[in-house]
Structure 1
Amino acid sequence: MQRQMMATSVTLGQIQQQLATVADNIANVGTTGYKSRDAKFTDLLFQQIDNMRANADQVDQNNRLTPSGIRDGSGSKVGDTQLDVSLGAIKQTDNPLDLALTNDHQFFTVALTGTNGVTTTAYTRAGAFSAQPDPQNPNVVRLMTKNGNPILGTNGQPIVLPANYRDVHIDNAGAITVELANGTQVNAGQLGLVTVNRPQLLENQGNSLYTLPNLAQLGIGLNQVVQPVAAGNGSVAQGKLENSNVDLTKEMADLINLQHNYQLNARSITIGDQMAGLVNGLLR
């Protein structure tokens, strides 16, 4: 009885984790470039308690497809949360600094500074960029994300544009051409686009930014996970943004199913507690 209640309580905690995943997806249904996650359950350890076999049961044993007895489990857990990198709907904005990627495995590279002051390379699909003044150089502006993270070029350095530019054109390979006020066109660099071959390794850092774990500890080389996009394989669409790929209908259906599962497991604990109370009453 106690083992059943413990297994159920473990499962309840894991259902809460999946509820948090679904809630996060629903909350970001309108977030540009957001990629949904799907939690997968796996069984915890179980114990097979076999019946004592007698000669009379030999016929039954020969015809059984499963072991006779009781399989006593320990509940279930969220084994993994899979990142869905499928392409979201593309919407037209006509803002020259709004960029969408039409290849679902390509990402923009971003400089992300952690709380420890160390700057690492992050990856994003949210292309709602803006040009912000450079506090150290009034002659240029920096290409930044919505939350103020510098966009990196193919050389790994932040991309800067002339401060007095009139228009900017970005082709599908990420090459940036700026038109100055006098009509002169200058090359302002190229976006650092990468292809992430193993997106399930990406760790969510919030604000639609992802980083990679310590690949050396996993025995994986960086080139096995991230590769620069060749000039002819870029998928940049200027003046457009990629919507979240969250399927709201699916998430609401999952939410209802999880609510039913939670109620069933909670009811199981209540019934187990009531039965234990009855047994204790009989022993008095």
Structure 2
Amino acid sequence: MNRTMITATNTLGQLQHKMDMIGHNISNIQTTGYKRKESYFNDLLVQEFNNQKQRNEIGRLTPLGIRQGTGARISQSQLVLTQGSIKNTERSLDVALEKEDLFFKVRVADDQGENTRYTRDGAFYLSPVSNNPEQMMLVTGKGYPVLDEFNNPIVISGSIENLTFSKEGQLKAETDNGAVQTFNLGMISIKKPQFLEQIGENLLGLPANFDDLGIDQEDIMTALEGGLRQDISMRQGALENSNVDLSKEMTDLMNVQRQYQFNAKSVTMADQMLGLINGIR
């Protein structure tokens, strides 16, 4: 395989990953609180051939020698946390976050056990507790428990008459006997989204190899507790739309498709050139 084929095939695989990412963004354009992902390319190893003997060319504007690369790769893919538009729903269990770095904490049970995950999807529901039907648990649309600031599930006792979410992230539940129960929602502020990965179902989490990255969790996110809760801003009776711009995603998709076609054509041309060389008698 010659150099042209190597360069093109290396780039083709990375362009396929880029197309998959764009397709994932487009498919989640209607997902509440979804954050699009953006990727960036870097050149792979570049080799320079200094094949020119004359070094004093008058008026030359380009570098001396020939530079040949081996393709491109995705150097980084990260979440774009820009704020999505907010739509009013007038539903008491719908909550929209009004700052782009805020996330709810939820508990998810999977193959790795119970883990804390993060989401901006504020479409909450009440689900009866299995061992006590007189208690209701605040859950996400997928049934995952929403956590309070102490990482405990939010469980409300009694017959609920009214639910109120404050702007500072406090849930107040009024029951039919006049009692009032309050809970501070578990919230975090994400400072370095590039260290988080999408794990499905509109959830974010730390990567499986987080311990090998050499970075503390406090450098990535901050738990909003105590005096930091004044940084929380949310709105009841509303939901945040995804921040996916369909026109931008379609433009990026067409550009990537053209790049894919160009590299595929390079493979075809290289194969034809090899055929001509092999056909020489």
Tell me which stretches of 4 or more aligned residues in structure 1 moved more than 4 Å: 62-66
RMSD: 1.5
1:93 maps to which of 74, 89, 95: 89
State the Cα distance separating 1:59 from its structure 2 match.
2.3
State the Cα distance separating 1:216 from its structure 2 match.
3.9
Q: Is the 8 A contact 2:174 2:181 kept in 1?
A: no
Cα distance in 1 for partners of 2:146, 2:262 equals 48
1:210-248 Cα offsets, whole Å, 9 max, x none, are 111354432222222221222322112111110000010
Cα distance in 1 for partners of 2:256, 2:216 equals 38
Query: What's 1:36 paired with?
Result: 36
State the Cα distance separating 1:64 from its structure 2 match.
4.2
1:208 maps to which of 191, 198, 202: 202
Cα distance in 1 for partners of 2:27, 2:265 equals 29
Query: What's 1:178 paired with?
Result: 173
Cα distance in 2 for partners of 1:231, 1:52 equals 66
1:244-280 Cα offsets, whole Å, 9 max, x none, are 0001000000111111111111111111111111111
2:146 maps to which of 134, 142, 151: 151
TM-score when normalising by structure 1: 0.93
Query: What's 2:65 paired with?
Result: 69
Query: What's 1:59 paired with?
Result: 56
Query: What's 2:187 paired with?
Result: 193
Count, aligned residues: 277
Query: What's 1:125 paired with?
Result: 120
Structure 2: gaps of 5 or more residues: none
Equivalent residue runs for 1:14-53 within 5 Å: 14-53=14-53
Q: Is the 8 A contact 1:110 1:121 kept in 2?
A: yes
Q: Indicate yes or no: 2:193 matched with 1:169.
A: no
State the Cα distance separating 1:66 from its structure 2 match.
4.4
Overall identity of the aligned pairs, in %: 40
Query: What's 2:235 paired with?
Result: 237
Q: Is the 8 A contact 2:28 2:34 kept in 1?
A: yes
Q: Is the 8 A contact 1:160 1:188 kept in 2?
A: no
Query: What's 1:107 paired with?
Result: 103
SS in 2 for 1:59: coil
Cα distance in 2 for partners of 1:152, 1:34 equals 20
TM-score when normalising by structure 2: 0.94
Taking structure 1 as reference, are residues 163 and 276 closer, same or farther at Cα in structure 2, changes over 3 Å only? farther
1:124-160 Cα offsets, whole Å, 9 max, x none, are 1011110011101112111111111110001110001
Q: Is the 8 A contact 1:99 1:128 kept in 2?
A: yes
SS in 1 for 2:56: helix
Query: What's 1:141 paired with?
Result: 136
Q: Indicate yes or no: 2:227 matched with 1:227.
A: no
Q: Indicate yes or no: 2:80 matched with 1:84.
A: yes
Q: Is the 8 A contact 2:106 2:116 kept in 1?
A: yes
